[in-house]
Amino acid sequence: MIKVKNLTKKYQNSKALQDVSFEVAKGEVVGFLGPNGAGKTTTMRILTGFLPMTSGQATIDGLDVFKDSLKIREKIGYLPETTPLYPEMSILEFLNFIAELKKVPREKRQEDVSRSLDKCDLEDVKNKIIKTLSKGYRQRVGIAQALLGNPDVLILDEPTIGLDPKQIIQIRKLIKNLGREKTIILSTHILQEVSAVCDKVIIINEGKTVAIDTPENLTSKFSGGMIVNITVKGNAEQVKNCLSGLENIKEVNIKNQTEGKVQLEVKSKGKSDSREIIASAIVRNGWGLLEISQEKMGLEEIFVKLTGKNNE
Amino acid sequence: MNNIFAITKKELKTYFLSPIAYVVFTLFLLIAGFFFATYLINTQQATLRPTFYNLIITLLFFMPLITMKLFAEERKAGTLEMLMTKPVRDSEVVLGKFLAAFSFFFVMLASTLPYVLILTKYGNPDMGAIWTGYLGFLLLGAAFISIGLFASTLTENQIIAGVLGFSLILFLWVIGWLSGILGISSDSIFNYLSFATKIDDFFRGIIDFRSIIYYLSVTGFMLFVTIKSIEVRKWK
């Protein structure tokens, strides 16, 4: 549905995007993940025809985003960053205006607008003036306008930014529902969001794609060995030496030591689960095993690893 | 075409949803009424010419106030991105906004028509000069609006857009003075470029096609530059 090949965008001196390539299949919900300034918004602006690329190619549904920009703009719904809306208008007036621009025929306009209001749960407030709305409602109006004209592709730039937790959950639910029938690209720097709604993640940093995969694959690919946390009653050095000698154990670190209790972090090689071996070794030595738990490397760590923000 | 009207309709609505329209309209009518009434009472002459001159000066100030928000506000609020990523051409947006400001101006001007009624009821004015005067107003107003619109694309600050628009209009108004200062003959390039020299003919009841073409070309040229100015974002 969306094909991006070697996309490069230069601003006067800086390169905002360098050779970004990815594909999005029909019906996929793709999360664009990256720190601020990574090039997410620039990519979206190029796809929506607001900015041209410096080089490279991008097509949506086989149409070139630069040459067939007007046609593409009919097929996509776009929510720009910070959800710009006309504050003086009422929700209904605003949506009618956008529907008109989206070339929804006059006789279908009312139906289209009410479908959109209904999807975003705005029916009850449709006559309210936009400037009086809360951030959560504004965001829904932003998504509602993107839905007008029933586009196949939705491009949402930071759809949940600045919302309270309850609103975030509502918007995510809405996006998930929309994802059943539409192809969606959304950008975010919130990692749970990606695991919550996306089929695929594109991690982008300093204008380059650093990873494209499903959230699950990313987690298993980058976790690089399992970590087991244990708390044991016994001598720290003895426990450490004993565990280090076990099969498949890469590293043992003492994290904390208090009154005969010791907390250790045990890293095993590969993806093997060493919990059983560790537990039996401790029991064999007569130490008291107080706690044992497996730590999974979350998307957070992977993200930090990939974007190299963690230089400690 | 539909897109142009959609934008015109929206802009006109926005004028009247905010206080701008009411403030500008009311004050314009007050000032116009003052000019008309004082002149009429003082001289008892059935002519609109002096009122027209005063109104032109008023418009010099007012027109940039009508146009300054049209692009500057959209840029500041980020709604330009919302607008430009819809299936509309840059030119349609510019023309739509131009037509909105022009319609607003047209209604403002039309609200001075009762003066004509008053004059015809109590006197015998030169109707030809009145209608050509109004024609001159429409042409000049279109040029003012296109300049103000252009100024509005240059900045996201409405005040700067307003001051810039006003300065450009004023400069084109007084540019004819340069020929006097430089001691060049009165049909120099500066006189040709001046707004002021041509409007005089219209108020006297003379229609000079060169003047009409001049005002229309200024408007056309400024609209073209405005469209290009919107496109500049693409080449940065």
- Nearest-Cα residue of chain A relative to residue B230: A50
**Minimum distance, in Å, between the CA of residue A213 and any CA atom of chain B:** 29
**What are A75-114's pLDDT values in tens digits?**
899 999 889 999 999 999 999 999 999 999 999 999 999 9
pLDDT exceeds cutoff 50 at A310:
no
| Highest mean pLDDT, choosing among A12-16, B115-119, B175-179 | B115-119
Percent of chain B surpassing pLDDT 90: 69
pLDDT exceeds cutoff 50 at B62:
yes
Q: Which one is predicted more confidently, B86 or A170? A: B86
Nearest-CA neighbor of A65 among A4, A107, A116?
A: A4
pTM: 0.84
What CA–CA distance (Å, rounded) separates A277 from A6?
A: 49
| Pair A183, A278: CB distance under 8 Å | no
**What are B4-22's pLDDT values in tens digits?**
999 999 999 999 988 888 9
Range of the domain at B190: 2-234
A87 touches chain B (CB under 8 A): yes
Residues of B in contact with A85 (CB under 8 A): 79, 82
Biggest alpha carbon–alpha carbon distance for chain A: 81
| Pair A157, A146: CB distance under 8 Å | no
Residues of A in contact with B84 (CB under 8 A): 49-50
Give one DSSP letter per residue of chain B, joined into a string: -HHHHHHHHHHHHHHHHSHHHHHHHHHHHHHHHHHHHHHHHHH-----HHHHHHHHHHHHHHHHHHHTHHHHHHHHHTHHHHHHTSS--HHHHHHHHHHHHHHHHHHHHHTTHHHHHHHHHHS---HHHHHHHHHHHHHHHHHHHHHHHHHHHS-S-HHHHHHHHHHHHHHHHHTTHHHHHHT--TTSHHHHH-HHHHHHHHHHT---HHHHHHHHHHHHHHHHHHHHHHHGGGG-
A77 touches chain B (CB under 8 A): no
pLDDT exceeds cutoff 90 at B1:
no
Best B69, B86, B92 residue to mutate vs chain A (most A CBs within 10 Å): B86
pLDDT exceeds cutoff 70 at A311:
no
Residues of A in contact with B3 (CB under 8 A): 100-101
- Minimum mean pLDDT among A7-21, B58-72, B143-157: which range? A7-21
**Minimum distance, in Å, between the CA of residue B235 and any CA atom of chain A:** 8
CB atoms within 10 A of CB A149: 23
What pLDDT is attached to residue B195?
Answer: 84
A12 touches chain B (CB under 8 A): yes
pLDDT exceeds cutoff 70 at A18:
yes
pLDDT exceeds cutoff 80 at B234:
no
**Minimum distance, in Å, between the CA of residue A49 and any CA atom of chain B:** 6
**What are B24-43's pLDDT values in tens digits?**
999 999 999 999 999 999 98
**Minimum distance, in Å, between the CA of residue B24 and any CA atom of chain A:** 18
What pLDDT is attached to residue B117?
Answer: 93
| Pair B11, B103: CB distance under 8 Å | no
pLDDT exceeds cutoff 60 at A9:
yes
| Pair A203, A34: CB distance under 8 Å | yes
Place of tokens 């015998």: B124
- Nearest-Cα residue of chain B relative to residue A71: B87
**What are A213-249's pLDDT values in tens digits?**
887 777 666 655 677 888 888 888 888 888 888 877 8
**Minimum distance, in Å, between the CA of residue B199 and any CA atom of chain A:** 37
pLDDT exceeds cutoff 80 at A190:
no
What pLDDT is attached to residue A255?
Answer: 83
- Minimum mean pLDDT among A55-64, A181-190, A254-263, B201-210: which range? A254-263
A199-208 mean pLDDT: 88
**What are A117-167's pLDDT values in tens digits?**
998 889 999 999 999 999 889 999 999 999 999 999 999 999 888 788 888
B234–A48 C-beta distance less than 8 A? no
Best A91, A97, A147 residue to mutate vs chain B (most B CBs within 10 Å): A97
CB interface of A with B, residues 178-217, below 8 Å: none
A49–B85 C-beta distance less than 8 A? yes
By Cβ distance, the residue of A48, A52, A84 closest to B78 is A84
**Minimum distance, in Å, between the CA of residue A78 and any CA atom of chain B:** 7
A100 touches chain B (CB under 8 A): yes
What value does the mean pLDDT of chain A take? 86
Domains held by chain B: number? 1
Confidence band (pLDDT; 50, 70, 90) for B199?
Answer: confident
Percent of chain A surpassing pLDDT 70: 93
Place of tokens 């096609």: B209
Confidence band (pLDDT; 50, 70, 90) for A195?
Answer: confident
pLDDT exceeds cutoff 50 at A312:
no
B87–A74 C-beta distance less than 8 A? yes
What CA–CA distance (Å, rounded) separates A246 from A267?
A: 11
* Main-chain phi, psi angles of B87, to 5 degrees: -70, 65
